[in-house]
Structure 1
Amino acid sequence: MFTSLRLTHFKAWQDTGMITLKPVTVLLGTNSSGKSSLIQSLLLLKQTVQSPDRSIHLNLGGDEISDLFDFGHFDEVIKHGTSSPREFSITFTFRTAGQSRINSGEFSCGYRQTATGVTAIQELVLSAAEHRFRAIRREKGSYAIFTDDETRPRAKGEQLAPERSVALPAAAIVALGSAGALAEDISLAIRRELENICYLGPLRRKPERDYVWNKTTPGQIESDGHRAMDILLSSVLIKNDKQNEILDEVSFWLNRMKVAERLEIRQVGRSARYEIVVHQGGTITNLRDVGMGVALVLPVLVAGYFAPAGSTVILEEPEVHLHPLAQAVLAEFFVALSRSRRIQFIVETHSEHLFRRMQTLIARKNTSVEQIALLFVESAAGNAALRRLEVDEFGRVSNWPQYFFGDALGETREQARLMHTRHQEQHRK
């Protein structure tokens, strides 16, 4: 789980300051304010650690098959107007779910563009268990390795360049001696946190009328959610102690949202193809023929149960094409799974209904302000600015940005005023 995040000179952000992240973090804000940049920073690191080239410092993307996002070039990532040195940085802290010898730690990395146009690490800092390891770039691609507060490097040389943003190379590990194993453990813990990010973007693939199942379970859901249907098929067709689990859980939430009573997987004739059908109101309909809201929320629900326990699910606009009640129930879904499966949700949304239900859940004591972070991003003088919404135990926000969700009370007052005025006019006649 990511416990904090800080960006400097990254896209719309001059300096975010250290942003506290919770089991459920909701990002709200105006269009093009910088919300997505917060999410993209973690995706940038995820696709870097998954790069097949271990010598790469930062994978800015471009491969449509393997990359989550195409960031373009260095100049498109660094904040416009950044003066010398032209460097951006990403910092985060994390807490592991218990699969690692590292319980918590910190990653921080600054990047610059070399004379040849390559994005290279300027300084990498890996910290955990009160120990800190630093790799600092010198001249001509040479790096110096430091531990803790030492002022003299343990080693220097071109062979000490970091790998995939998060790891020290073998030569550096050897140079660190007995501390080398700890440096490796920290890198591995950071890599696992990033690899265990499950990301679902706002543009999701439309459902097919039927699917071929290849008798395997996909390794990931994909950013457009199109592997969600394969995950549902494997949940039903693979016979084990978890058979039907994901399908049943997804059906529960669809029913809670009042968009479907349940889902069912049906074989098409005797072929190797299967269709997903929706039961609702006494009718059975192919998923392709129901409203888009059902099809587009399916990957969101599947992600919550498919992601490994203790991992992070990042969602952009999960409420797309859902009616108000269903949008509100999404808040319940996030809170429930963050507790039952220890899934961290980082959600970018424009949904007032989702936000209002989150307030209600706090007031009901279904969750608490210690478990929820509500962050509002806005643009101020050309810079992104972040406001942490201050929420009390009854879900009330004391520093809400004016008119972001419109002025509901003002609209009601105006309707009442117009009704009163019209009645008076009719009475005069």
Structure 2
Amino acid sequence: MIDQLSLTNFKAFRSADIPLAPVTLLTGLNSSGKSTVLQAFALLRQSYDSFTLFSTDGDSEQGGFLLNGDLVELGTGQDLLHEDFVRSPGLPTPLTSIGFRTEDGQGRAWSALYAPEQDVLPLQSTSDLTHEDSLFGRCFQYLKADRIVPATSYPRSHHQAIGRAFLGARGEHTVNYLRHHAQHPMPDGPLRHPEAAAHTFLDHVVAWMQELCPGVNLEASEIPGIDSVRLSYGFDGTAGIDSSSRRRPTNVGFGLTYALPIVVACLSAGPGSLVLLENPEAHLHPRGQSRTAALVAAAAAAGAQLIVETHSDHVLNGLRLAVKNGVIPASDTAVHYFRRRGLRAEIVTPRIHDDGSLSDWPTGFFDEWENSLEQLLD
């Protein structure tokens, strides 16, 4: 479990130490620094997967931060460096640093020299890498805000969906992952849905999807002869291809397909997993948004760590209800509200109490409903 992220000269942050919990919500106005937190982790993982997160002293092919890849596309060094940067003592150029601390007190940190026109920033200092870190292990998911949309077919990559158990940054391998794992037994624990028809992974995916759209069921199958898979929906409440007349995703509401990677990522997250989610509430009805937070809390109760960027007060309230209902303890949550102060990002951290209440409610923190209601009643 990662309990703190540290950033220096990285996009919105001149310098910041950000506490993390089993469930961390990142909230705030647009361009306030929320996405930067997820991008920092994604940048480290992307560099690790590309074998550049190392340094070969004196070698012209030295490692570095790979700014553009499958997970994130951050541009060049001048796009990454904070505008009000801190100069590094003894160095002609500033350093961009990313580090994190695990719950056992172990720290990892990487610093790269500023190179304004380069998209691989040369490393100045590194830490040892280990698969025991959730960020670099097999149980890692990062789902960006622009996820898969309804389509007639999806890619069938054995390496990604089965070999790496990775859903893809856009969730593009979700359908193939679901096809492969559909009949696998769902482990006992908080992620098991009480209304699931049976104990397979697919049955529990269906049960949680019904929290978003009552009565929906789905099927993932291969398309013979080509390297693609097919997703279909039905609406009689049970899993399986014979359960109802099947419908293509293109003939079903946009939100179901958009939410499917979120559901699968949470249900497949076990102890030691790290799941990064951008805007899980996108295209969902408020009830679905709240139930998504319940699923996130259940995944954390099963031993995963989830860091969630959200603009939804329904997601916040869903997490508060999960605390009040005893799904996870309040101490396993963190809520950060990001706001801008000139060139710098400022972080305010209200605490969730055991009864689901919040320690404080900063100005601008999900207060638009009250502001609008006040104007309506004026």
State which drifts further: 107-116 or 4-13. Answer: 107-116
1:393 and 2:357 equivalent? no
1:368 matches 2:311? no
Percent identity of equivalent pairs? 25
Residue number among 326, 343, 346 corresponding to 2:307 in the alignment: 346
Aligned pair in 2 of structure 1 residues 370, 256: CA closer, same or farther (>3 Å)?
same
Residue type at the aligned position of 1:288 = T
- Cα contact 1:235–1:244 (8 A) shared by 2: no
Contact 2:76/2:117 (<8 A) preserved: no
Q: Deviations over 1:159-200 (max 9, x none)?
A: xxxxxx433xxxxxxxxxxxxxxxxxxx32466533443100
The match for 1:160 is: none
Query: 1: distance between equivalents of 2:49 and 2:20?
Result: 23
Correspondence 1:280 to 2:235 = yes
CA pair 73-301 structure 1, distance change in 2 beyond 3 A? same
Residue of structure 1 aligned with 2:80, choices 61, 69, 77 = 77
**Which of the numbers 114, 121, 136 marks the counterpart of 1:194?**
136
Q: Provide the residue aligned with 1:46 in structure 2.
A: 45
Q: 1:367: Cα distance to partner?
A: 2.3
For 1:203 and 1:324, the matched residues in 2 are separated by 19
Matching residue within 232, 241, 255 for 2:178: 232
Please give the alpha-carbon distance, in whole angstroms, between the structure 2 residues aligned to 1:407 and 1:81: 31
Superposition deviation, residue 267 in structure 1? 7.0
- Write the mapping of 1:388-427 to structure 2, written as runs, cut at 5 A: 388-416=349-377
Q: Does 1:57 align with 2:60?
A: no
Residue 88 (structure 1) aligns with: 96
Q: Which runs of 5+ in 1 are unaligned?
A: 96-102, 124-164, 168-186, 418-429
Report the Cα offset of residue 205 of structure 1: 2.0
What is the alpha-carbon distance in structure 2 between the residues aligned to residue 113 and residue 405 of structure 1?
Answer: 37
Give how far 1:203 is off. 0.4
> Does the aligned pair in 2 maintain the 1:49–1:191 contact within 8 Å?
no
**Rounded Cα–Cα distance in structure 2 between residues aligned with 1:284 and 1:116:** 51
* 1:12 alignment counterpart: 12
Q: Determine if contact 1:213/1:233 at 8 Å carries over to the other structure.
A: no
Residues 60 and 71 in structure 1, CA contact (< 8 A), matched pair in contact too: no
Question: Shift of residue 81 of structure 1?
Answer: 2.6
Matched with 2:277 is: 315
Instruction: Give 3-state SS (helix, strand or coil) of 2:26's partner.
Output: strand
SS in 2 for 1:59: strand
In structure 2, the partner of 1:207 is 150
Question: Which of 274, 287, 290 matches 1:325?
Answer: 287
* Cα pair 1:199 1:223 within 8 Å, conserved: yes
Partners of 1:4 and 1:404 lie apart in 2 by: 22
Select the structure that is richer in helix. Answer: 1
TM-score, normalisation: structure 1: 0.71
Distance 2:320 2:84 in 1: 38
Give a deviation string over 1:314-355, Cα, whole Å, max 9, x none. 010111110110000011101111112x11110001111111
Amino acid paired to 2:37: L
Q: Tell me the residue number matched to 1:22.
A: 21
RMSD in angstroms over aligned alpha carbons? Answer: 3.0
Aligned mates of 1:377, 1:215 — CA distance in 2: 39
Residue 275 of structure 1, CA deviation: 3.6
Paired residue for 1:2? 2
Equivalent AA in structure 2 for residue 337 of structure 1: A
Distance 2:305 2:134 in 1: 14
Choose 1 or 2 for highest CA Rg: 1
Structure 1 residues 116 and 401, CA, compared in 2 at 3 Å: closer, same or farther? closer
Query: Following TM superposition, by how much is the alpha carbon of 1:241 offset from its aligned partner in structure 2, in angstroms?
Result: 5.7
Distance 1:256 1:192 in 2: 29
Q: What does 1:59-208 correspond to in 2, within 5 Å?
A: 59-63=65-69, 67-85=70-88, 86-95=94-103, 105-113=106-114, 119-123=121-125, 165-167=126-128, 187-189=129-131, 193-195=135-137, 196-208=139-151
Q: CA deviation at 1:74?
A: 2.0
> Any unmatched runs of 5+ in structure 2?
57-61, 89-93, 187-197, 237-243
Match of 1:255 among 199, 210, 216: 210
* Cα distance in structure 1, aligned partners of 2:220 and 2:122: 49
Shift of 1:107: 0.8
What secondary structure does 1:299 align onto?
A: helix
Distance 1:266 1:287, change over 3 A: same
| 3-state SS, counterpart of residue 92 of structure 1 | strand
The reply to whether residue 337 of structure 1 matches residue 299 of structure 2 is yes
Aligned length: 342
Counterparts in 2 of 1:34 and 1:105: CA distance versus 1, 3 Å: same
Secondary structure, aligned partner of 2:322: helix
- Cα 1:240–1:393 change in 2 (3 A) is closer
Aligned partners of 1:81 and 1:384: how far apart in 2?
Answer: 11
Aligned to 1:298: 260
Distance 1:114 1:215 in 2: 37
Residues 215, 373 of structure 1: alpha-carbon distance in 2 compared, 3 angstrom cutoff: closer
- The Cα shift of 1:248 comes to 1.6
Q: TM-score, normalised by structure 2?
A: 0.80
SS at match of 1:389: coil
| Shift of residue 204, structure 1, vs aligned partner | 1.1
